[in-house]
Amino acid sequence: MFLTGFAALAVMPMLPLAARDLDGVALYPLVAGAFVAASLLGGVLGGTWADRAGARRPLTAGVVLTVLTLLVSATSPNIWQLALGRFADGVAAGLVAVSVNAAVGQSYPDRLRARALALMSACWIVPSLAGPPLAGLVAAWWSWRAVFFGLAGLTVLPAAAAVLLLRGATVDPATGADAQVPVRRPALPAAAAVSAAAALTQYGVSAWDVPHAVCAAAGLALLVAFAPRLLPAHTWRAGRGLPATVLLRALTSGAYFTLEAFVPLMLSTARRVPGVVTGLAFTGAALAWAGASWVQGRAQGRVARHRLVAFGSGVMAAAVALAGLCTLPAVPAAAAVSSMVLAAAGMGLAAPSLTLLSLRHAPAGGQGYASGAMQTSQNLGQTVVLALASALFSAVSAVAGGQLPPFACAFGLLVVPALAAAALASRTRAHSRTPDGGRPPAPEPAPGTAEASKG
């Protein structure tokens, strides 16, 4: 996870340089969006695979594929191979993310899961501090290709560990693939359609003209048609249990990552602050996320998980409101930096809590299914909320003019999913387990089972 975070945070600053060097700046939105779109497909593949054969195999495939995709990107002669490399890297990232969450659910007792997830968050602290600066230095001294080659060399270590150390691991029949539970698995064609839809949507909102509008409309139509097939029944109605948990992952992720995209843009364009200030915002956000995640790990058994979700979502809503205030010229630009840090603290409380709730609500032997649904929901939330905010931003820019009013409207939109997540948090509430770790009798069938799907 440490090297995964290092790769993720070091690659992103290099993509604009690579696109310019390959004469593909016009296709940069496609390159940037390919990763998120492909991680949808990787999440579905990883979730199904983890339930059938345990988390070790998709984890091994994910880290090995990461090495290969970094090499594909490093040797790109044109922008299309770079886009292909980023797409394949997205598939690998989806496999790894879902496998890690499924492994936590399959391997750790409930009392240790919160701390395990806090450790995963802590693994991103050093990469957030050192990854972007080191990548920038390597690119300045050599080239952006050296960054990709170097990351591939570093990632060989966890790839070798996964292949050599995990190949002899066994799956616990009580929690792994041997448990015969009728979980409704998402179809791979639907996952591929949703991945293509996400890429079309992200490309479509990158400009304001007829071809881009057609791509955005087509992408949204495909999302409406196929996305429900990848999620538990009644997700869009916030059905109690896993459906509501999955929906809240989409709402919180959409609000946070869209805020993370718009605040740096506002700082660099409308407020004209130095680049180092924007860098401090990302560093502070990473530290705040990890710190809040540590707090939720220590709160295990003391505070109900759904209350942490509600509080974290409320903190995010306050952060979005603070970012909106920063569109007033009288408000210092430093307040916008504080909004990113505050929002990250809210996510540090809400995101691990939602992951734990999804594992609690998952049907027996379905931790991979629940983790895949959460990964899919997160990426869908990012795609849809960012698309809506970008469309609103572009429309206000064309009508009202000026630099700050479009940001004010975009931030106003982001308050809605954050407040909705806080209001719906009680629907994610999990019943306490019995002393031996089992489940108490449920009042209704678990979402995704055959009994629940009959309705």
Task: Judge whether 221 lies within some domain.
Answer: no
Following CA atoms 90, 51, 351, 430 in sequence, which dihedral angle do they give, to the nearest 10 degrees?
160
Residue with tokens 């600053």: 13
Average pLDDT over residues 256-271: 81
pLDDT of res. 303: 85
Q: Does residue 240 sit in the same domain as residue 91? A: no
Predicted structure pTM score = 0.73
Q: What burial class does residue 402 get, using C-beta atoms within 10 Å of its C-beta: 0-12 exposed, 13-18 middle, 19+ buried?
A: exposed
Q: What is the pLDDT of residues 407-445, one digit of tens each?
A: 888 899 999 999 999 999 999 987 654 333 344 433 333
Query: Is 436 within a domain?
Result: no
Cite the DSSP H helix spans in 75-143.
Answer: 79-107, 110-122, 125-141
**Cβ neighbours around 310 below 10 Å, total:** 22
Same domain for 143 and 277, yes or no, is no
| Residue finishing a domain among 167, 184, 211 | 167
Give me the mean pLDDT over the 106-119 stretch. Answer: 77
Whether residue 437 is contained in a domain is answered as: no
Task: Assign 375 to helix, strand or coil.
Answer: helix
Range of 118's domain?
1-167
Phi, psi for residue 233 in degrees, rounded to 5: -60, 145
On whether both 415 and 271 belong to a single domain, the answer is: yes
Looking at the structure, tell me whether residues 144 and 251 fall in a common domain: no
- Give every CB contact of residue 308 below 8 A, 6+ residues apart in sequence: 296, 299, 349, 350, 353
Does the pLDDT value for residue 170 go beyond 70? no
What pLDDT does residue 450 have? Answer: 34
Q: How many other C-beta atoms lie within 10 A of the C-beta of residue 160?
A: 13
133 and 277 housed in the same domain:
no
Q: How far apart are CA 223 and CA 63, in angstroms?
A: 28
* Structural domain contains residue 208: no
pLDDT at 341: 92
Q: How many domains are contained in the chain?
A: 2
Q: What mean pLDDT is predicted for residues 208-219?
A: 81
Position 223 in a domain: no
Domain boundary pick from 167, 191, 208: 167
pLDDT digits (tens, 9 = 90+) for 333-384: 788 888 989 999 999 999 989 988 888 887 766 677 777 788 788 888 888 8
CATH of the domain at 124: 1.20.1250.20
Do 134 and 14 share a structural domain? Answer: yes
Tell me: do 390 and 277 sit in the same domain.
yes
pLDDT digits (tens, 9 = 90+) for 313-339: 999 999 999 999 988 888 887 888 889
Residue range 160-173: mean pLDDT, rounded: 59
Q: Is the pLDDT of residue 295 over 80?
A: yes
Residue 211 lies in a domain: no
Q: Are 353 and 299 in contact (CB under 8 A)?
A: no
Domain boundary among 138, 167, 196: 167
- For residue 255, the model assigns a pLDDT of 93
Please give the pLDDT value at position 416. Answer: 95
Residue 249 has pLDDT above 90, yes or no: yes
Domain-embedded: residue 441: no
Q: Are 269 and 375 part of one and the same domain?
A: yes
Average predicted confidence (pLDDT) for the chain: 78
Query: What sign does the CA torsion over 327, 331, 335, 339 have?
Result: negative
pLDDT band at 307 (very low <50, low <70, confident <90, very high): very high
257 and 358 co-located in one domain: yes
- Confidence class of residue 181 from pLDDT cuts 50, 70 and 90? very low
Average pLDDT of the residues in 396-415: 82
- In 3D space, the residue among 143, 162, 129, 171 whose CA is nearest the CA of residue 5 turns out to be 129
Which residues lie below 8 Å from residue 147, measured CB to CB, with a gap of 6+?
Answer: 10, 11, 14, 135, 138, 139
Best-predicted range by mean pLDDT (108-122, 227-241, 270-284)? 227-241
6 shares its domain with 100? yes
- The burial of 417, by beta-carbon neighbours within 10 Å (0-12 exposed, 13-18 middle, 19 or more buried), is given as buried
Return the structure tokens found at 361: 């609500």
**Is 224 part of a structural domain of the chain?**
no
Query: In the prediction, which pLDDT does 176 show?
Result: 39
Same domain? 157 vs 255: no
Residue whose pair of structure tokens reads 């718009």 in the numeric block? 262
Instruction: Please determine, for residue 156, whether its predicted confidence score (pLDDT) is greater than 50.
Output: yes
Residues 18 and 129 placed together within one structural domain of the fold: yes
pLDDT at residue 431, rounded to an integer:
65
- 273 CB-near residues (< 8 Å, 6+ apart): 267, 333
pLDDT value for 384: 84
